[in-house]
Amino acid sequence: METELIRIGQGEECLAWEEEALRRAGEIIKGGGLVAFPTETVYGLGGDALNGESSRKIYAAKGRPSDNPLIVHISRLEDMGRIVERIPGEAVKLAESFWPGPLTMILPKSREVPYETTGGLDTVAVRMPSHPVARRLIAYSGGYVAAPSANASGRPSPTIAAHVIEDMSGRIDMIVDGGEVGIGLESTIVDLTVSPPQILRPGYITEELLKGVLGQVETDRAILQTDSGQAPRAPGMKYRHYAPRGELAIVEGGREQVTAWINRQVQADHAAGWKTGIITTREQQGLYRADVVKCVGSRQDEEGIARNLYLVLREFDQEKVDRIYSEGFGDGKLGSAIMNRLLKAAGHRIVSVQYPIKSEI
Ligand code: AMP
Ligand code: MG
């Protein structure tokens, strides 16, 4: 299949030809086709959420296991009623506070949503994105767009159109290039079918912000701890994900111990013939010796780190790096979202280098 590429400006105002192109993209989705498009979190791969055949095509294009449900994207609050069984007061409060924006809510699904879209579940994930291109496209598509991240399953989510082209060219009908996304990590997912509500995936809307609106909120422990022994409640969180092709390990501990440990390990890897890479921050960038040293930004700027993380993970693939070591993150407000994605990319390989050294890989 030939994939058409169109470029759209990022402003609230759309030029006439851009509007026309988005209208055509909407027609493709209405007709059962697939279109990748920018959102404020990452690029999405969109199909008609109310058409089971479209959802099947999404799974096929991504190579995604079909028990991993899709998020349904809407552009107007009043459209939510058609796809959920009921709208609890908590959902209204969250929508008022965080929509349009990077928050996904899990609610009981209505009959209109096919099981192909929900991976066989009786619940549905709903989000109203804020990106102007996404909102226009959803409206032109009939109002309900199932859109997982537009990467091949298992690879880091795309934050620029070039990543979508890399993974999806020839597999989908159209790619809408709207430039670099703003946030760079997928939406926060909160399950409103349980009491208290539970965060199934951390993101830009933090537990603290949600507590500010709902009072009590819990986080699914299985997504942050390596040793909880439980399966995560968002089916997608159990898969290794966001992963570069090289083997990634996260190294935690005091700054000096971390740099010393990584430099020693890199020497050993070189002796064994491996190409090595490091994910570091501006503050520590100069301290490493490896084949490829990538800075994700300053520790003072977590938003910058979130925006760069997937880009950097993909760059290691281009440079064909075999062994990658990353510093740990986790102090600030976005820390748990960043660390959650990094842990999944690393297949939960963590090295702790507090004195005395607890574990070696
Ligand atoms: P992605 O579309 O790549 O951002 O991934 C969507 C995430 O939402 C996956 O981890 C899914 O498992 C999760 N998800 C979608 N729908 C549901 C649902 N009904 N219940 C729980 N998790 C869901
Ligand atoms: Mg994804």
Q: Express each pLDDT in 100-157 by its tens digit.
A: 999 999 999 999 999 999 999 999 999 999 999 999 999 999 999 999 999 999 899 9
What average pLDDT score do residues 253-272 get?
A: 95
pLDDT attached to residue 65: 85
pLDDT in tens, 143-199: 999 999 999 998 999 999 999 999 999 999 999 999 999 999 999 999 999 999 999
Q: Which residues pair with 35 in a beta bridge?
A: 46, 174
Residue 248, both tokens: 């990634």
The atom of ligand 1 lying closest to the CA of 234 is 22
pLDDT attached to residue 268: 97
Share of the chain above pLDDT 70, in %: 93
Residue 116's H or E segment, with its range, is helix 115-118
Q: In the predicted model, is pLDDT for residue 281 greater than 60?
A: yes
Task: For residue 55, report the distance from its CA to the centre of ligand 2, in Å.
Answer: 14
What is the rounded distance in angstroms from the CA atom of residue 167 to the CA atom of residue 81?
34
- Does this model's pTM top 0.85? My answer is yes
pLDDT attached to residue 332: 75
Q: In the predicted model, is pLDDT for residue 359 greater than 70?
A: no
List of E strands, the chain: 4-7, 35-37, 44-48, 71-73, 103-108, 123-127, 145-146, 174-177, 188-191, 198-201, 218-219, 247-252, 276-280, 292-295, 323-327, 350-352
Q: Which of 99-113, 198-212, 233-247, 308-322 has the lowest average pLDDT?
A: 233-247
The average confidence (pLDDT) of the chain is 92
Task: For residue 48, report the distance from its CA to the centre of ligand 2, in Å.
Answer: 17
Ligand having the closest approach to the CA of 123: 1
Enumerate long-range contacts of 229-236, CB under 8 Å, 24 or more apart.
232/200, 233/191, 233/198, 233/200, 234/189, 234/200, 234/201, 235/67, 235/68, 235/69, 235/119, 235/121, 236/68, 236/69
Residues 37/134, Cβ–Cβ less than 8 Å: yes
pLDDT attached to residue 221: 78
pLDDT in tens, 312-335: 999 998 999 999 999 998 777 899
Q: In the predicted model, is pLDDT for residue 361 greater than 70?
A: no
Work out the burial of residue 130: count CB atoms within 10 Å of its CB; fewer than 13 is exposed, 13-18 middle, 19 or more buried. Answer: middle
pLDDT attached to residue 120: 95
Identity of residue 67:
D
pLDDT attached to residue 232: 66
Task: For residue 209, report the distance from its CA to the centre of ligand 2, in Å.
Answer: 23
For residue 227, what pLDDT band results from cuts at 50, 70 and 90? Answer: low
For residue 34, what pLDDT band results from cuts at 50, 70 and 90? Answer: very high
For residue 230, what pLDDT band results from cuts at 50, 70 and 90? Answer: low
Task: For residue 236, report the distance from its CA to the centre of ligand 1, in Å.
Answer: 6
Ligand 1 atom 22: residue of nearest CA: 234
Q: How far is CA 117 from CA 47, 48, 68, 160, 332, in A?
A: 10, 9, 9, 25, 34
Which residues line the pocket of ligand 1, CB cutoff 6 A?
68-71, 106, 118, 121, 123-125, 148-149, 186, 189, 200, 234-237
What average pLDDT score do residues 273-283 get?
A: 96
pLDDT attached to residue 12: 64
Half-sphere exposure of 36 (CA within 13 A, CB side): 36
pLDDT attached to residue 162: 97
CB atoms within 10 A of CB 5: 13
